[in-house]
Structure 1
Amino acid sequence: MSGGLLLHLSGPWQSWGGEADFTVRTTHRFPTRSGLTGMIAAALGRPRDSDNTDLTQLRYTIRVDRPGQREADFHTVGGGYPPHLTPATADGKRRPEGKGTIISERWYLADAAFTLAVTGPTATLTLAAEGLARPVYAPYLGRRSCPPDTPILIRAHVPDPVGELDRMPLHRPTAPNKAPQPVTFIYDQAPEPGAHPDAEIRDEAGPNGTCAPRPLWQRTRLLPHAPDTPGGTAWIDALTAYRKEAST
């Protein structure tokens, strides 16, 4: 496959795990590389302990169509059950009386939307495109409780996927005066030669579930907006027209 892929991630909820303990599970404000690697691996039907070294070679440029709103969900597990039905401890025993309920706080992005340009080795791009087009396991946006509300794979064989981020319809409402609005782009490689990173994120998937830090760059530019309606069908129409035009 020459070029790269265009992906779109949107849904009622997304959650891209950040630094967390068992009690509080946070989310980053955009898809993480480790989360995207896991999503593609699941689409390919790979077990959780698979070696995904090939998928870690993919690079992502993220366009933030809608940043979404961070929301917390209060979770309880095992509440109200007798001791022999409460969650087991790490050594397989049951929790003592009065400690059978596990309480946690989990954070999500509500109503967020992202468009991604994916580049990397040709063989890996081809494999990823095949998996996302016909997933073995249903893809989800960071957590299994976060299904996408649109197909993830928008286009394959894109000659310049990063450049297409300027042309693919934005998944957000039009400004009241129909003027371009600022759009945030997140890069995992310097967008200009010698540019210093703007931040660091720990999401480089490593062995045994570990994550290493990596730099990232952020830029904001003005782009025209696709039309939208309360029902959201105008964006689908605009996306369909864009794909049809790109195929001719």
Structure 2
Amino acid sequence: MTFTLLARLAAPLQSWGAVSRFSHRDTHSRPTKSAVIGMCAAALGHDRTELLGPLADIRFAVRADRPGTPVRDYHTVGAGTYPVRPRDIITDHRRAAALSASLEAATGPSFGHHPLSNWYGAPKKISSDPASGTLISAELSRTALITERWYLADASFVAALEHPDRSLLDSIAHALEHPKRLLWLGRKSCPPSGTIAGAVQAAALEEALTATALLPDATDSRPWAWIESPQSTTGTTPITDQPVSFHPDQRSHTNRWEYRTRISPEPTATKWDVIQ
């Protein structure tokens, strides 16, 4: 007999990187197996250096009840000029003496002694430009580093984890609601919202997804689902998100196979008890 645990993955923002590199951080259209297994390992309190053990043998599927909307977060890092920092003036007596008259005229005689003055700051690794005297980025040599990060906004998924050991799935379900480490949906800036774990069912992935009602905010009555299956199954395609190791120095993944299908929950499907 096999058992399946369903997990609700919902949040204002999610990001499931698949081929992210350096300044470009993409997101897959749905949660990856590597990220979900990693979240389960974090909930259980596992260290990244530990072997995956039975977690590696879990069969995985995901149903997109609310696919969400891709959004881009655009960044520029470094370069440009910065204003003179009040903190620098306070700590640099020579600069303070040279500017004392203008400072007192602009701020009054007590400038630099008010507790709020310590709140002032500026970006790190900047230096004075010999030509203009303004502060510039020393590390990036005046050239801005452009980065972009992609997210899914307002998405809700149902991840299914199948394994013959019910006690393993029960421990994961408890851990997801009482995690030993912080959880996030693909990126640290994306914490999950509301209830995560559903009930463990005595059923395979396909049966469990069909026997469980759509999430309350679902946008499609017949959502798409991606179900892990043997390579010999008709219609399967490879995806490189089967975790082998999460060790910081030996992180690696390999291929697994999945097929895409529509899911039509039964009229008597079990409702989600979602606590927001």
Shorter chain as denominator, the TM-score bin is 0.7 to 0.9
| In the alignment, structure 1 residue 119 sits paired with structure 2 residue 169 | no
Q: State percent identity of aligned pairs.
A: 30
Query: RMSD of aligned C-alpha atoms?
Result: 3.0
Aligned match of 1:240: 273
| In the alignment, structure 1 residue 209 sits paired with structure 2 residue 247 | no
Superposed, 1:27-106 pairs within 5 Å as 27-77=27-77, 81-83=123-125, 95-99=139-143, 102-106=145-149
Q: How far off its partner does 1:26 sit? A: 0.9
Which residue identity does 1:143 align to in structure 2? R
Alpha-carbon distance between aligned partners in 1 of 2:267 and 2:74, rounded to the nearest angstrom: 36
From the superposition, tell whether residues 57 and 139 of structure 1 become closer, same or farther in structure 2 (CA, over 3 Å).
same
3-state DSSP class of the match of 1:41?
helix
Alpha-carbon distance between aligned partners in 1 of 2:208 and 2:2, rounded to the nearest angstrom: 15
Which residue identity does 1:195 align to in structure 2? T
Which residue identity does 1:112 align to in structure 2? A
Aligned match of 1:199: 237
Q: How far off its partner does 1:102 sit? A: 4.2
| In the alignment, structure 1 residue 3 sits paired with structure 2 residue 3 | yes
Alpha-carbon distance between aligned partners in 2 of 1:217 and 1:7, rounded to the nearest angstrom: 20
Select the residue among 207, 229, 235 that pairs with 1:189: 229
From the superposition, tell whether residues 121 and 161 of structure 1 become closer, same or farther in structure 2 (CA, over 3 Å).
closer
Contact 2:4/2:204 (<8 A) preserved: yes
Q: How far off its partner does 1:120 sit? A: 1.4
Aligned match of 1:134: 178
Could you list the runs of 5+ residues in structure 2 that have no partner in the other structure? 83-122, 128-137
Ranked by relative contact order (alpha carbons within 8 Å, sequence separation 6 or more), the top structure is 2
Alpha-carbon distance between aligned partners in 1 of 2:63 and 2:267, rounded to the nearest angstrom: 13
Q: How far off its partner does 1:139 sit? A: 1.5
3-state DSSP class of the match of 1:186?
strand
Aligned match of 1:12: 12
| In the alignment, structure 1 residue 109 sits paired with structure 2 residue 149 | no
Q: How far off its partner does 1:28 sit? A: 0.9
From the superposition, tell whether residues 145 and 64 of structure 1 become closer, same or farther in structure 2 (CA, over 3 Å).
same
Which residue identity does 2:29 align to in structure 1? R
> CA deviation digits over 1:130-185, x for unaligned, max 9?
321320113211111111122211113x111532322322125588xxxx833211
Alpha-carbon distance between aligned partners in 2 of 1:149 and 1:130, rounded to the nearest angstrom: 16
Q: How far off its partner does 1:73 sit? A: 0.9
> CA deviation digits over 1:32-77, x for unaligned, max 9?
1110111011111222333223211111121210111111111345
Q: How far off its partner does 1:197 sit? A: 3.8
Alpha-carbon distance between aligned partners in 1 of 2:28 and 2:71, rounded to the nearest angstrom: 12
TM norm structure 2: 0.67
Could you list the runs of 5+ residues in structure 1 that have no partner in the other structure? 86-93, 227-237, 242-248
TM norm structure 1: 0.74
Select the residue among 128, 139, 155 that pairs with 2:199: 155
Counting matched residue pairs gives 214
Aligned match of 2:100: none
3-state DSSP class of the match of 2:141?
coil
Select the residue among 242, 261, 273 that pairs with 1:219: 261
Contact 1:6/1:153 (<8 A) preserved: yes
Contact 1:14/1:112 (<8 A) preserved: yes
